[in-house]
Amino acid sequence: MKRAYARLMAGKRHRQRGHIEERRGGSLRVHVYAGVDAFTGEERYLRETIPDGPTKWDQAEAARVRLLNDVYEQRHPRTDATVQQLLDKHLPLMDIAETTRRTYARYVKNHVTQLIGQRKIGDLLDATLLDSYYAELARCRDHCTGSHTEHHTTKARECDKRCQPHMREPLAAWTVRKIHFILSGAYARAVRWGWIGRNPMDQAEPPSAPKPNPDPPSAEEAAAILNEAWKDLDFGTLVWVVMITAPRRGEISRLRWRHFNKKRKVLRYSGSIAQDGAEIWEKETKEGEGRNLALDDTTVAVLSDYYDHCVKLASQAGLAITSDAHIFSLTPDGSTPYKPASLGQRYKRLAGRLGINTSIHKLRHYSATELIAAGVDIRTVAGRLGHSGGGTTTLKVYAAWVTEADQRASQTLLSRVPERPAAPPDPIERAKADPQAPYEHIAASLRRAILEGLLPGGQLAPSVKQLCQDHSVSAGTAHRALGLLRKWGLLSDAGRGNRPTIIRPPEPVTTEQPAAELPTTTTTPESTSDAKATIMLDLGLYRLGNEIRSFSAQADPTNAEHLRRLLAGAIRRFGGENTDIDDYALEVRRAGTPELLTTFVSL
């Protein structure tokens, strides 16, 4: 057979392309010239090895003809470039946002490079290999090779309860579809470049797109989150604005005071903050045009009050708030934005403390579902959310948002979200009656001792060492307790290295009027007893379970008429109507003590 093949080749040598080489061991290797590599510029050959056997020469000739046909019909890859080399050229050429490009680069690094990155681009023409690749993505997102322990840190240390056995989780269907989109686009570009004859991704079977499943917090959960956030006025205002206007994380971080028009009652979202690790930068919104949102009166008041708060804080630091300052910032002058990742983490931790598993992005779902449930048309809802398409209609004109329908949407949402919480109490005054931190408990106990005369005025205050021993706290906690007493005016400012002395608050001074100026009153036993029963009280005004305001007054806690007048007056002072008096309650405490004496309601 070998001699017959040699005679055949000798007779056709002038037309022959490709040759067959006999190797040691009896196997054959077929070589066919395939032109110049489109990537490296070097000459390329298609090769195939035929194992030893009685029909090896026939198989070799058939392989030579098949490879030649691939070359003639341009079905063969025109380069030996790898999948990774193709993606390295493809990603920089994609017309996408920088944040998307970095996300795609992470997908390639984590889920392509280590699995098929070193494969030649022609290898994926094998549908078996392609199916195996997608099966691996669906098996484990970490592409593990066996059971192992997931350590909570990469530092060398002994394992503890935070180190858990690895649990396999498939890669999310949306992520697999994005990887398919990246590979499909890369191979389409390779086809245009002439690197390969067809796109192998056309025969791939990525998972179907999962159905959207928004999971907004319930109205009760939203109220709990808002009330918890409002303990910090800065973060509480942020959560309120997110709940009303439903921005993306980056959009709320980018918001500046010039975007808030108090007179027109409009808030404009015209960009966002992008973040990758510690790096942040500004970018346009997804729709590229920005959007204007109509605000209700309460939200305008919230932002106006918060502006005054920011101006006050900045002035205390010797700074100023400009129109270009960020509304939500960790710096007094608003010069730097709140990082989107930090914002999301803080919100998730706050919700976690309440036992609610949610994220700040789901407040967008909350706003949308509440508006839709209230009967707002889908186009208006899509506009407020910043979606580029409202149902089957693409929303492109945002100037027309300030319409009657948009005004109704803002008022409708206000009627469905929780009431604006009352301003948080001054933490320095709050610590007198409701100490929370260890140093506040120490300061409150010392304050009671001073007021009761156990620690007389002029005496040296307890030393830091003594407080550490008596209360089993650190020196820093003891120093903070003494500092709080100094803010209350109960300790002198002795200077560095000296122990302060106790200052007993002065007794109330009473001035007697001349006899001619004293009003004429008739004293009755009943009025005398009322006067003796009145004491200083700490009062809290609540409406439907939400605290509106706290204040102090002198009254008889057992006298229903006194409490009714206090309740009615407080409702009028803080913007309510006495016709709704049955919605209100008054919590009564003795001044300076946390013990609740009674909760008064009026029918």
Strand-pair partners of 275: 280
User: What CATH topology corresponds to 224-416?
Assistant: hpI Integrase; Chain A (1.10.443)
How far is residue 322 from each of residues 272, 565, 596, measured CA to CA in Å? 19, 45, 45
- Give the 3-state secondary structure of residue 4: helix
For 127-158, the DSSP string reads HHHHHHHHHHHHH-TT--SS--EE-S-SSS--
- What are the residue boundaries of the structural domains of the chain, listed by start? 2-72, 94-145+166-203, 224-416, 427-487, 526-600
Which letter does DSSP use for residue 126 in this model? S
Tokens 């001074």 — which residue?
Answer: 509
Q: Is there a contact between 35 and 79 (Cβ–Cβ < 8 Å)?
A: no
Percent of the chain with pLDDT over 70: 81
Averaged pLDDT for residues 163-173? 79
Structure tokens at 171: 């890669």
474-512 pLDDT, tens digit per residue, is: 989 999 999 999 888 888 887 777 888 888 876 543 333
With a cut of 50, say whether residue 529 has pLDDT above it: no
Mean pLDDT of the residues in the chain: 81
What is the spatial distance between Cα 440 and Cα 429, in angstroms, rounded to a whole number? 11
414-462 pLDDT, tens digit per residue, is: 777 777 777 777 888 888 888 888 999 999 999 988 888 888 888 888 9
187-231 pLDDT, tens digit per residue, is: 999 989 888 888 999 888 888 877 767 788 888 999 999 999 999
Domains 224-416 and 427-487 share a fold: no
pLDDT of the residue at 233? 92
With a cut of 90, say whether residue 266 has pLDDT above it: yes
Range scoring the smallest mean pLDDT among 27-31, 40-44, 544-548:
40-44
pTM to 2 decimals?
0.61
Q: Does domain 427-487 have CATH number 1.10.10.10?
A: yes
How far is residue 283 from each of residues 32, 100, 274, 287, measured CA to CA in Å? 52, 12, 7, 11
